[in-house]
């Protein structure tokens, strides 16, 4: 008979370990998901990345950001391959991710010491709802173990913002950093400063827009957007402020192309509205329409890494 344990029961059984965060965002329309795991040290992060990458399964990409692991996966099931080195090195990986109602189920397999990570460390994180253990589960040593970890279903929401300052007052990137830090809804994930066309008429000094992203339960998206609207309205200095909202893990190609063009082409509000409608971006005027151009571009550039902060000639 399988055993089902809550995080507090896992801590009681195995002692307090090291996972500081573990949550899963899904994009069911595109069949993909992203798992974010936070530890207290780089050592386990680096070891887990190498071993999970080796085993494959549903994992498509894995990378670190400080003491955080970011895993891109497909929704579904795929065989794992521990390879010929497993007898000497052990291993760990994820072979299934499924969405059941408002929960995400991930199935993991570990060998030897890696069983501690999937069987005791992650399951005791308070982000986890519960973990299912088979009746033959054993941890550590030379054992092979499988577990099923259940977390709340979350989605990624990106909020792009532009035209909140004047030549005398304000900085959009500062406002959105504060918005992310102070938002009581969901999990604040990331912040980006998007360099736009420096030749744009009416710009402030740097001509940048900005965006923040959150992991949020689907039923709380409305609360998140309302908080963002109110926060920006209370803190803007401009009469042309706009926020743009996108839900999902994959930025559409047309939206990325628009974002890149905003760095070197003089665009119009109608251009931004057209691509927003095509790509499922909600545009919300706070005080006026002009900020639409940069707010939509901020979403288009959000996943471009360092390219989001520059203009094309920086990368020629």
pLDDT, tens digit (0-9, with 9 covering 90-100), for 116-142: 889 999 999 999 999 999 998 888 767
pLDDT of residue 205: 61
Mean pLDDT of 242-264: 97
Asked whether residue 134 falls in the same domain as residue 212, the answer is no
Give backbone dihedrals phi and psi of 191, rounded to 5 degrees, phi first: -140, 135
Q: Which of the listed residues 125, 154, 183 is the one where a domain comes to its end?
A: 154
Q: Which of the listed residues 130, 154, 178 is the one where a domain comes to its end?
A: 154
Q: Which domain holds residue 176?
A: 163-315
Asked whether residue 60 falls in the same domain as residue 190, the answer is no
Alpha-carbon span 160 to 102, nearest angstrom: 27
User: Given pLDDT bands bounded at 50, 70 and 90, which one contains residue 203?
Assistant: low
Question: Which conformational region is residue 44 in: left (phi greater than 0), alpha (psi within -120 to 50 degrees), or beta?
Answer: alpha
Asked whether residue 238 falls in the same domain as residue 168, the answer is yes
By the 8 A CB rule, do 265 and 193 touch? Answer: no
More confident residue, 205 or 253: 253
User: Given pLDDT bands bounded at 50, 70 and 90, which one contains residue 254?
Assistant: very high
Mean pLDDT of 282-287: 97
Checking if the pLDDT of 289 tops 60, the result is: yes
User: How much of the chain, in percent, has pLDDT values that exceed 90?
Assistant: 77
Q: Which of the listed residues 122, 154, 186 is the one where a domain comes to its end?
A: 154
The set of long-range contacts for 207-210, using a CB threshold of 8 Å and a minimum separation of 24, is 208/172, 208/173, 208/294, 209/160, 209/161, 209/162, 209/163, 209/172, 209/291, 209/294, 209/295, 209/297, 209/298, 210/160, 210/161, 210/162, 210/172, 210/173, 210/175, 210/176, 210/298
pLDDT of residue 202: 64
Q: What is the CATH number of the domain that holds 261?
A: 3.30.70.2200
Checking if the pLDDT of 83 tops 70, the result is: no
Query: DSSP for 112-175?
Result: TTHHHIIIIIGGGSTT--EEEE-TT---STT-EEEEEEEEEEEEEEEEEEE----SSS--HHHH
End-to-end C-alpha distance for the chain, whole angstroms? 61
pLDDT of residue 166: 62
Asked whether residue 108 falls in the same domain as residue 33, the answer is yes
> Looking at the 3D structure of the chain, how many domains does it have?
2
Asked whether residue 113 falls in the same domain as residue 227, the answer is no
User: Given pLDDT bands bounded at 50, 70 and 90, which one contains residue 168?
Assistant: low
By the 8 A CB rule, do 123 and 131 touch? Answer: yes
Asked whether residue 7 falls in the same domain as residue 148, the answer is yes
Query: DSSP for 44-90?
Result: HHHHHHHHHHHHBTTEEEEEEETTEEEEEEESEE--B---TTHHHH-
Chain-wide mean pLDDT for the chain?
A: 92
Asked whether residue 72 falls in the same domain as residue 146, the answer is yes
Asked whether residue 294 falls in the same domain as residue 197, the answer is yes
Asked whether residue 46 falls in the same domain as residue 126, the answer is yes
> The tokens of 200 are what?
């744009």
User: Given pLDDT bands bounded at 50, 70 and 90, which one contains residue 198?
Assistant: confident
Asked whether residue 105 falls in the same domain as residue 11, the answer is yes
Asked whether residue 168 falls in the same domain as residue 150, the answer is no
All residues at 6 or more sequence positions from 209 whose CB lies less than 8 Å from its CB, including other chains: 160, 161, 162, 163, 172, 194, 196, 291, 294, 295, 297, 298
Asked whether residue 34 falls in the same domain as residue 111, the answer is yes
Mean pLDDT of 186-190: 96
- Per-position b or e across 1-24, b if 16+ CB within 10 A of its CB: eeeebebeebbeebeebbbebbbb
All residues at 6 or more sequence positions from 203 whose CB lies less than 8 Å from its CB, including other chains: 196
């Amino acid at each position: 008979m399988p055993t089902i344990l809550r995080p507090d029961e896992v801590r009681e059984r195995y002692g307090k370990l090291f996972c500081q965060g573990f949550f899963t965002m899904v994009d069911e329309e595109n069949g993909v998901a992203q798992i974010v795991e936070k530890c207290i040290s780089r050592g386990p992060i680096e070891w887990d990345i190498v071993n999970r990458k080796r085993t494959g399964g549903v994992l498509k990409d894995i990378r670190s950001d400080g003491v955080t692991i970011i895993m891109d996966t497909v929704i579904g099931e795929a065989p794992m391959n521990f390879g010929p080195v497993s007898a000497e090195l052990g291993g760990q990986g994820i072979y299934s991710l499924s969405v059941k109602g408002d929960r995400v189920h991930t199935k993991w397999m570990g060998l030897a010491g890696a069983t501690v990570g999937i069987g005791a460390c992650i399951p005791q994180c308070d982000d986890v709802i519960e973990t299912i253990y088979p009746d033959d589960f054993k941890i550590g040593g030379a054992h092979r173990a499988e577990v099923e970890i259940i977390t709340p279903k979350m989605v990624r929401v990106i909020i792009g913002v532009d035209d909140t300052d004047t030549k005398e007052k304000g900085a959009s990137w500062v406002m959105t950093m504060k918005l992310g830090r102070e938002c009581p809804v969901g999990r604040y994930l990331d912040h980006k400063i998007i360099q736009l066309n420096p030749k744009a008429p009416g710009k402030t000094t740097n001509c940048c827009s900005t965006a923040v992203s959150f992991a949020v339960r689907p039923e709380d998206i409305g609360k998140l957007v309302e908080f963002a609207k109110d926060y920006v309205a209370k803190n803007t200095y401009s009469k042309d402020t706009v926020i743009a909202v996108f839900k999902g893990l994959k930025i559409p190609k047309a939206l990325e192309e628009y974002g890149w063009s905003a760095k070197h082409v003089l665009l119009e509000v109608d251009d931004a509205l057209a691509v927003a409608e095509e790509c499922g971006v909600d545009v919300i005027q706070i005080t006026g329409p002009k900020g639409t151009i940069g707010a939509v571009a901020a979403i288009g550039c959000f996943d471009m890494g360092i390219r989001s902060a520059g203009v094309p000639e920086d990368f020629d």
